[in-house]
Amino acid sequence: MIKFTKEEGMTNQEIAKEFKRIADLLELKGDNPFRIRAYRRAAQNIEALSRDLSEIPEEERRKIPGIGKDLAAKITEYLRDGKIGALEELKGEIPEGLLEVIAIPGVGPRTAKLLNEKLGIGGIDDLEKAVSEGRLLDLPGIREKTVQNILKGIALLRKGRERRPIGKVMPLAEEILESLRSLKGVRKISLAGSLRRWKETIKDIDILATSTDPEGVMERFVNLPSVSEVLRKGPTRSSVIVDGDLQVDLRVVEEKSFGAALQYFTGSKAHNIRLREMAVRKGLKINEYGIFNEESGERIGGEKEEDIYNALGLPWIPPELREDLGEIEAAMKDDLPELIEPADIRGDLHIHSRWSDGSHEIHELVEEAKRNGYEYIAVTDHTKGLGIAGGLTEERLLEQKREIDSLNRKLRGFHVFIGVEVDIRGDGSLDLPEEVLGRLDFVVASIHSGFRQEKGKLTKRVINAIKCPFVDLIAHPTGRLLGEREPYDIDMEAVLEAARNYGKALEINAFPMRLDLNDIYAREAKKRGIPVIITTDSHILEQFRFMKYGVSVARRGWLEKRNVLNTLPLREFRSYIRRRRHAR
DNA sequence: GCCGTTTTCGGCCCGACTGTTTTCAGTCG
């Protein structure tokens, strides 16, 4: 047997994809639904791993939730052969084109199977042809309305609504939320869904409300100026389109069910399934109206989210943790993290000024920082290698240092640390000599070019920077840009190890397109005791407000205040800097 | 196919909505 080699790093995503495909094909086959769910659950848990499956010893893989004897063997098989026999067999039994048919919204496995068996349809093209020839109407249970829905579904699928970075969706959502909150008749109102869990990308906006006048609220909701299309409108649920192709769902429930509905519509699905399983074992039943005693039907609660969790013997779990990635187990042991809050942040340590490609003078950055309640910032402009960003030469940098020194003399209770974002060059060297870096307070290092180098070389560049005694922080360590650029092919396991060994901090870059480290690596950093710093990488003042997105990544990564260095008050952060400089 | 403060076998979340039906299956979140 030949060892199958390919680009590494993406293996987990590939295996997860294979499992999902098996699940889809089993569904088309009409297989045991629980078996299908097992594949989907395994895929989800694999996607959430921070380590590559190939690096996890075979005997340890069964410890991953949802991976048992059989799936562990299939993982081994994939790593060895690059394919899974069971999947290949399924492909032989079921036309793969049906996978695109079940991807059509409104068309599920039963319909796809029917289309295939009765009309020989093996893909979307066949289906469109059959529709135009009027052949679908020969089928049992399919009439004109269903045909129209299938056509709409195909159009929708082709349009391909992409997930958007949360930083682009949240402002829209907050705007809608505010315009609804001010309506007469609206009482409680909250975001729900993935937005409330602060997932890094969002597909639609979910809003939940209680009201004395549901019809009136719905009427005004579908008539908001930003609404371009009304998908459906009812007394308890309406859906509209805003901003091109972004769907917004508003649900209105009774006051006494608000908590249960909020819990339910916040998800995640995997988290809710776990809770309901727990409920069943306790003789309870959870639905979006409340939590009930299964036998007597007696209502135990539902007005608050806490009612649901407490009835199961659990403390309330913050939405950002609700992914079934260990939060339920932690809650059972009363061992949930005390998550970092936006108000814990005391300073921003990655900011650009007009000295390179930022738009503002340093004193303006200081004013903005104060408005955000900070006690310090580090000004970290680019270095000369980034000519396009007006990167600083040694001379310019030292000139900037003089300006900052003089500014600091005038400041009370606030401090500007003199920093730089030094470019890690293609050969792994830094863009400024160590004597210059040594005269600064805070050095951020990051990659801005040569993203496509091979893994070994890229990894070495970053580790080289970590080893440099003058570097404090590695910025946007994986280089990904949501929806635009994949993370570069870097061995994060090695980077994390190096950061731990050399006591260097890793950044959560709060820029909405970056969010890098992501939640998975942030959690891994915490596990290994690697300090994290959350920064905005601001180039204009308005970007200071991105901090909350960085904090949300930290929260999703289970980080507490103590794991994040820029929660330290000025005095303590200063002594941290001093200690580091002393240790060089 | 997974999993065990009920279980190594027998369970495995719950309801709304839609379109097609005269009582329900399929799909979705």
pLDDT in tens, A217-240: 888 888 888 888 887 787 788 888
Please give the angle made by the CA atoms of A550, A555 and A557, to the nearest 5 degrees: 95
Who among residues 65-94 of A has its Cβ near strand B, under 7 Å?
Answer: 65-72, 86
The pLDDT confidence band at residue A210, using thresholds 50, 70 and 90, is: very high
Which token pair is A415?
Answer: 């401090």
- Domain termination site, one of A144, A162, A180: A162
Who among residues 435-494 of A has its Cβ near strand B, under 7 Å?
Answer: none
The one-character DSSP state at A566 is G
Of all nucleotides in the shown strands, which has a C1' nearest the CA of A67? B2
Pairing type for strands A246-253 and A237-242 reads antiparallel
Does some domain include residue A327?
Answer: yes
- Round and report the angstrom distance from CA (A277) to C1' (B12): 8
For residues A414 and A570, give the distance between their C-alpha atoms in angstroms, rounded to a whole number: 8
Domain boundaries, position A12: 6-162
Of all nucleotides in the shown strands, which has a C1' nearest the CA of A276? B13
Number of domains forming the structure of chain A? 4
Residue A244: CB less than 7 A from any atom in strand B: no
Residue range A91-107: mean pLDDT, rounded: 90
Of all nucleotides in the shown strands, which has a C1' nearest the CA of A153? B27
- Round and report the angstrom distance from CA (A278) to C1' (B25): 28
Question: What is the pLDDT at residue A241?
Answer: 86
A456 in the same domain as A467: yes
Residue nearest to nucleotide B17 (CA to C1'): A237
Cβ atoms A288, A234 nearer than 8 A: no
**A540: which residues sit within 8 A by CB, 6+ positions away?**
A358, A359, A360
For residues A212 and A253, give the distance between their C-alpha atoms in angstroms, rounded to a whole number: 10
The tens digit of pLDDT for each residue in A52-82 reads: 899 899 888 998 889 999 999 999 999 999 9
Q: What pTM does this model have? A: 0.88
Query: Cα–chain-centroid distance for residue A573?
Result: 29
Residue A281: CB less than 7 A from any atom in strand B: yes
Residue range A135-162: mean pLDDT, rounded: 86
The tens digit of pLDDT for each residue in A177-203 reads: 998 998 888 999 999 999 999 999 998
A65 in the same domain as A15: yes
Compute the Cα dihedral for A545, A548, A554, A556 and give only its sign: negative
Give the domain CATH number at A527.
Answer: 3.20.20.140
> End-to-end distance of chain A based on CA atoms, in angstroms?
50
Does some domain include residue A314?
Answer: yes
Residue A280: CB less than 7 A from any atom in strand B: yes
A398 in the same domain as A527: yes
A489 in the same domain as A351: yes
A428-to-A75, A240, A459 alpha-carbon distances in Å: 35, 50, 9
Give the domain CATH number at A183.
Answer: 3.30.460.10
Does some domain include residue A337?
Answer: no
Dihedral of CA atoms A569, A570, A573, A577 in degrees, nearest 10, equals 180
CA-closest candidate to residue A207, choices A188, A226, A220: A188
Helix (H) or strand (E) holding A259: helix A258-266
A309 in the same domain as A279: yes
- Round and report the angstrom distance from CA (A65) to C1' (B9): 20
The tens digit of pLDDT for each residue in A249-269 reads: 999 999 999 999 999 999 999
A263 in the same domain as A247: no
Please name every residue paired with A231 in a beta bridge, in sequence order, or none if there are none. Answer: none
